[in-house]
Chains A and B, each alone.
Chain A
Amino acid sequence: MNVQPVPVAEAYRITPETPVGFDLIGVKKKALIQLMGSRLWGRFNPNHWDPVYARETGLAKPIQTGEMCSAYIAEMCVNWFGPAMFRNARISCKYVASIFADETITTYGKVAGKTPKGDGYRFRVDVWAKNEAGETKTIGFVEADVGV
């Protein structure tokens, strides 16, 4: 018998039954200097894309704009919350350390709480991002309504 695979969008989705303590699978990204310095992102500041300029200003390597990491975290949350991330949702992020060119960044999330709301719950998820050495770069939380 052929078993149809469950679409990714359904297999990885927070539901009203998802328990507190549940770990979200994140997204993994390479901090590529060519993307960091693209016109819509960091082109206005060579610290985001030029290794020589970055060194002159005391940075070991160019650094990402913080919003890139927020975008990574938002992508993870859209994967898990779907449409709920676009209405009455909240994303709060603090950039605690710079992300340097060439680092590999992974996002993480853990369901920290769920409060009854309407027919469902308002979920709160702790979110963070680390590099391959385990250094924390961004911390925060996300809230979204599920089944409400």
Chain B
Amino acid sequence: MSKTFTTTFKVLIRDKGVLLWSVLFPLVLSTLFYSMFNKLDAEFQLDPLPVIIVADENYHKAQSFATLVDGLSGGGAAAATDDTGGGGGDAGALLSVTFVDTQDQALQLMASSDSELYYLGYIIVDSDGMPRYAMDSRLASGLDTFTTIKQSIVLSILDRYIQDYELITAIAASEPQLFADPDFIDTLLLQQSYTFRGSITANPPSDALRYYYAVLAFTCIMMMNFGRLAIDNWKASTSPLGARRALGSYSWVHSLAPTLMAAWVLSMACATIGFLYIRFGFQISFGGKEPACLAVLAASTMVSTFLGALLGAVTIPGGAKSGISAFIANFLSLFAGLYGPASQQLGDFIAREAPILAAINPVRQVSDAFFSLYYYDSYQRFTEILITLGIMVVVFFAASVGMMRKQQYKSL
């Protein structure tokens, strides 16, 4: 039995065609996703907005504004003369402030800014203590979506400050006695928040994850090639090689068990490589539940091994089987959202309207398993999916073994 196991393992791992589609193709696909989504994610991420503030006499007089700036920049504002070139501050800072002494210096710095550190504009405090924002004229034409958002944020901050400032100044002018009341002062200074920010999922949502989980699920099911090839070489009715092996002096169970075992072990190993590549190569999160992910890989590769064995046991030309397995994996991946928003919407629609179809789609199930691990605190959904995959294993195993236990054929 061990000889059959090692031989099958060698044969499968040396088959370049199968390795290409089962291992290399998913790795390349996930790398492509990474190159696409990494840039996309960076653009969606709001980094501290680089602005210049003219720290002249007026600015220093407007203490309340200076305090606001200090708060928004996380106390990390830098002078233009710093080696860092500005942009300091802590991770939670909204603004990345660079101070200059004069308006001319601000204009000069803005003109010299480049794509790496692009100042949106500069803020100067007028003689009335009001901050004024001057946008870079180059931004006036052709603002992209993200720059517009950033501009809006800066303007919103300044508007809010000016409104508060004028409100307090007006109250002070009309009813100065109110400022003698400590409760009024407290109410005035209270930063009331009327909305609660929370998360209903264990980890923050990410659109890109869906692609990675789908590609990993696709990889697992694509491993059916190993089962297919192993049985193609094993069954007497599918190849001369199989016919020769069928004449061995050991029972078909002794021969079949190590053959399928080798196919599964190799599938699991290859799927694990794909998983590690995505998890640690691209730092894609699986909710910190890596051991559970391995359980998903084990179950899904078992499904694909028996699905492949079933395909391998059917008497059709080997080349056609390769095409059929590629079609099955790609077709099922369509409903797991591998091919973009349209396929994701289609997959979600089917999951809502015909959940049984989603349930019998192993690619969808594997993808959902990773989702459940990432988003849910509970393992309930994950367990349900594992049970579903287990049922698929039993069904495919029974069907494939049913076809393979036959030792005599009407024709070869």
B partners with A: no
Interface residues of chain B, those whose CB is within 8 Å of chain A, are: none
Give chain A's interface residues, CB within 8 Å of chain B: none
